[in-house]
Structure 1
Amino acid sequence: MHHCFCTVGGVMRFAPQSSAQPLRLIVLLLFTARVNTSPMLSSGCPDRCVCDDQLVVQCAGQHLTTFPVNLPLATRQLIISNNRIVELPPLALNYLSDLVYLDCSNNSLTEISESTFGNLRKLAYLDLSFNTLIHIEDRTFGPLVSLVMLRMTDNPGLSEMHQDAFVENAALQVLDVSRNNLTVVNITSLIALPALRSVGLSGNPWSCECDNEDLCLWVHLEGFKFQDEGQTVCGSPADMQGRRLGEVGIQLRTLCHQTLGSWDYLFFVVIGFVIFAAGTVTYLNSFVFTFKKEITRSTPQWQQAQ
């Protein structure tokens, strides 16, 4: 039995109360708190966005200049394309740990880094096309271990991708970097991706010189992997302009290895020095031996006997 204060006729009195009632209140409070904090049951939705019961948040074409706030934490698809967003804030984005689809195309993004996607381990689709990206840093996409498709086309200032940008994306199947400003790319990490089956490179001013020999040879050997392979052409040098990368792959292999490299020259210099030194020592030994022999011959026998 539990007691509580009750007011009867202006006088405060004790009144018996069943112990079951506060227990029910506690359960009710706990349930209410659970409902209010559960992202699955959250009814909030960012301004100018549409949220549905399939956990899709649609914010496309709303003239947004900043990343939307108050997103449901359980969001699985987020579409913020066709806005003027300049930054993806890591703190806000990484709360969306269940996100599998992110479309950021046609915005004003200038920079992304490893921290941008630090907690999006379920993300499978990412579109960064039609932005103003300039370079892709080391391990930018490293946390995206489930990434299957990456579209990063039509960034006119994008001229550099770090050779290790995709080194940890073992699940990546489709990579499209068409119509950027890329001239050279180190393919070491790309050719090591076990699932990669489709690559888009067209519309870039590719260098078809020795510094890009590996890329050209890769396109030649595995042309079936490359989207629009016929439009993946050389931008320089002048005598190669317009020629397909796959077409010049073998030619570059021959041209780039017909002359000796700096290490080859150094090797021959060292070998030449060793041979010269060995020859000099041999000559000196021979000279000393001959000199001693002549001295021995010219010495009278009576002196030798002594």
Structure 2
Amino acid sequence: MVFASPLVTQCRIVVLLVLCLRGAPSPAPSAGCPERCVCDEQLVVQCSGQRLSSFPTNLPLVTRQLILSNNHIDELPALQLNYLSDLVYLDCSNNSIRDISESTFGNLRKLVYLDLSYNMFLKIEDQAFGPLSSLVMLRLTDNPLLSEIHPTAFAENVALQVLDLSRNNLTTLNVTSLITLPALRSLGFSGNPWNCVCEIEDLCLWMQIDTFRFQGNKITECMGRMRNKWFEKHLENKDNIPDHK
């Protein structure tokens, strides 16, 4: 099976999102718009680059697209965020967010696009993205402190097609986080300090066997090393060596 390049896939998803957002009927927005933000008739709330130090209040409850990029927000309050049950697109990139949990996105069942890149995450907790059953694209890149992702962080994201984990501080990743994603088509791994030892053997073997188009040379190098070690380990019993063609 041949997949489109990750960049083409991402562009198609973003275009589709924009068309859906613009083409959907617009119910009357609730009163008010956050200070220093712009709210339009397409139910888009634009708060990018406004030096916000906290999540904006007084958001229209019918908001479908919320852009909070390039601020100083350090927390996504579950109580306020989950009032936005019609949210489809959420961009929280380039902030100072440190933690998310299952409750953070508990009521965002329609969310399709989520960008959490350029933040300050240390780890991603169990079921952190579990409620996001419609999520198609997740950008979790450029978090220099992010060194741990729980094996079941993405367990319920059956619609997820694009997952970008590039340029974090990941040394290992449990393959369980990925093999249960039936729709996954593009996975970004580049720029992480992968530890090419036995802890990621299962991940490397899965990447060799499966048909995904992976991004990044560093993990490819690890794949090559681990594959050689695995073949050396099982050389005595040739019947156990799978066909990697």
Which structure's residues are more often helix, by fraction? Answer: 1
Does the CA-based 8 Å contact 1:218-1:246 persist in structure 2? no
Q: Which position in structure 2 is the counterpart of 1:104? A: 92
Deviation at residue 251 of structure 1 after TM alignment: 1.2
**Runs ≥4 in structure 1, deviation > 6 angstroms?**
none
Deviation at residue 208 of structure 1 after TM alignment: 1.1
User: What is the aligned counterpart of 1:186 among 158, 174, 178?
Assistant: 174
Normalising by structure 2, report the TM-score: 0.81
Matching of residue 92 in structure 1 with residue 80 in structure 2: yes
Structure 1 window deviating more from structure 2 (67-76 vs 218-227): it is 218-227
Matching of residue 116 in structure 1 with residue 93 in structure 2: no
SS of the residue corresponding to residue 207 of structure 2 reads helix
Deviation at residue 224 of structure 1 after TM alignment: 4.1
Deviation at residue 223 of structure 1 after TM alignment: 6.1
SS of the residue corresponding to residue 250 of structure 1 reads helix
Task: State the identity as a percent.
Answer: 66
Q: Which position in structure 1 is the counterpart of 2:239? A: none
Identify if the C-alpha distance between structure 1 residues 222 and 154 changes in structure 2 by more than 3 Å, giving closer, same or farther: same
1:203-282 correspondence runs (5 A)? 203-222=191-210, 224-228=212-216, 231-233=217-219, 244-255=221-232
User: What is the aligned counterpart of 1:72 among 54, 57, 60?
Assistant: 60
Q: Which position in structure 1 is the counterpart of 2:135? A: 147
Q: Which position in structure 2 is the counterpart of 1:10? A: none
Does the CA-based 8 Å contact 1:96-1:120 persist in structure 2? yes
Matching of residue 200 in structure 1 with residue 188 in structure 2: yes
Deviation by residue 1:212-232 (Cα, 9 ceiling, x = unmatched): 10111223233642123xx23
Alignment-mate amino acid for residue 212 of structure 1 = I
Q: Relative contact order (C-alpha < 8 Å, sep 6+): which is higher?
A: 2
Q: Which position in structure 2 is the counterpart of 1:4? A: none
Unmatched 5+ stretches in structure 2: 1-26, 237-245
Aligned length: 210
